[in-house]
Structure 1
Amino acid sequence: MKIVRVVAAVIRDGDRIFATARGYGEYKGWWEFPGGKIEAGETPEEALVREIHEELDTEIRVGELIDTIEYDYPTFHLSMDCFWAEVVAGRLVLKEAEDARWLTKEMLESVQWLPADRTIIDALKKNLIKDC
């Protein structure tokens, strides 16, 4: 099975996290944490900074690794490094996503998450409780 390595930013502002709805493909309209594929020669952190700039016209500071999600989709295996991140500059302009929301812990279940992204929601709830 093909392995796809990606990174995702859990962009945090106080007790809220930023999520986007896919604007294309089989999972169009499903929610995810923004990010994308790691290119040859990039570290995961470098890839995340590049992807967020390309997708959201925003500069972020990448924080600690939350978890690496391993998930089998029907046609490929996804390996996704999820990092805490914060906005340093920019306004989170949607260039690829069809929608975006700031979600509190109580709102995390209000959207339809992509299957791989869904697996980290419980850990995020615990972190949002612990840190706020």
Structure 2
Amino acid sequence: MATDNPVGVTFVLLKPSDKILISQRNDGNGKKIPFPNTWCFPGETIEAGETPIEAVLRGGPEEFDIEIKKNDCVELCRYVHGGALDVVFVCRVIEDTKGNLKEGQDMKWVNLEVVKSMKLGWDQDEILPILEKFMKLSK
């Protein structure tokens, strides 16, 4: 059941070249997990006492060794998946940002057209039209 209070964040890391970081979930290593082997934008659960943007700023280093600056992020939208409300941010990073995979089985920087062709978890395909419009308007 969705509430007015977000429980998680999704963050799209975007380079000046319009490359987007996407990561592939693992298969659960014998445990049942939601959306095994699907591709996803990074995300975090909001911890007690934490704001959505604080969850993003924590998540970049925890998941990918990528420092994210608050002033480089903008709230894109809010969306419901599996009954949970997520706040979605777009955070700009410098072009030579690489990152190190700490969770999942793969990560890559790709353009939006490639993301559109991927099997996304967490109903993140719902974000794509809004992200595409944002990217066109922010050129």
Please state which band the TM-score falls in when normalised by the shorter chain. 0.7 to 0.9
Identity of aligned residues (%): 29
- The separation in 1 between residues aligned to 2:122 and 2:65, in whole angstroms, is 26
Give the gaps of 5 or more residues in structure 1: none
Render the CA deviation track for 1:76-118: whole Å, top value 9, x for unaligned: x221111011336974111102111222132222210114211
State how far apart, in whole Å, the 1-side matches of 2:62 and 2:7 are: 18
CA distance in 1, matches of 2:129, 2:65: 29
Partner of 2:74: 64
Instruction: Note closer, same or farther for the CA distance 1:34–1:115 as it changes in structure 2 (3 Å cut).
Output: closer
Report the secondary structure of 1:69's partner residue: strand
User: In structure 2, the residue corresponding to 1:8 is in which secondary structure?
Assistant: strand
Superposition map of 1:1-132 within 5 A = 1=1, 5-14=7-16, 15-23=18-26, 24=28, 25-62=33-70, 63-71=73-81, 73=82, 77-87=83-93, 91-132=98-139
The two structures, once aligned, show a CA RMSD in angstroms of 2.2
Q: TM-score of the superposition, structure 1-length normalised?
A: 0.84
For the residue of structure 1 that corresponds to 2:69, the secondary structure is strand
Flag the structure with higher strand content.
1
Matched residues in 2 for 1:120 and 1:81: separation?
11
Segments of 5+ residues of structure 2 without an aligned counterpart are: none
CA distance in 2, matches of 1:93, 1:32: 16
The CA distance in 1 between the partners of 2:117 and 2:2, in whole Å, is 31
Question: Which stretches of structure 1, 4 residues or longer, exceed 3 Å deviation after superposition?
Answer: 1-4, 87-91
- Separation of aligned partners in 1, 2:92 and 2:7: 22
